[in-house]
């Protein structure tokens, strides 16, 4: 889980690289609220927003959605 990743994990390194090049990673607020991790995600700089409309707008423009 992102909120519990160690600072030395591969994911944490990728996250730092994203911040370093000016990207702002985003997480779904509905999911993070349900998991009780919204505060932790925001604390590490992740933008926590409701993503339903955002994802829908991309699908309407023929983007493909990846989930994992």
Three-state SS at 8: coil
Q: How far apart are alpha carbons 55 and 29 in whole angstroms? A: 13
pLDDT at residue 59, as a whole number: 94
- Tens digit of each residue's pLDDT, the chain (68 residues): 666 667 778 888 888 899 999 998 899 999 999 999 999 999 888 999 999 999 999 999 999 988 76
pTM passes above 0.85: no
Q: How far apart are the first and last CA of the chain?
A: 12
């Amino acid at each position: 889980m992102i909120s519990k990743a160690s600072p030395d994990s591969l994911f944490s390194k990728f996250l730092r690289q994203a911040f370093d090049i000016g990207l702002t990673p985003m997480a779904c607020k509905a999911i993070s609220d349900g998991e009780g991790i919204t505060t932790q995600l925001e604390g590490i700089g992740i933008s926590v927003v409701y993503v339903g409309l955002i994802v829908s707008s991309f699908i309407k423009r023929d983007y493909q959605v990846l989930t994992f």
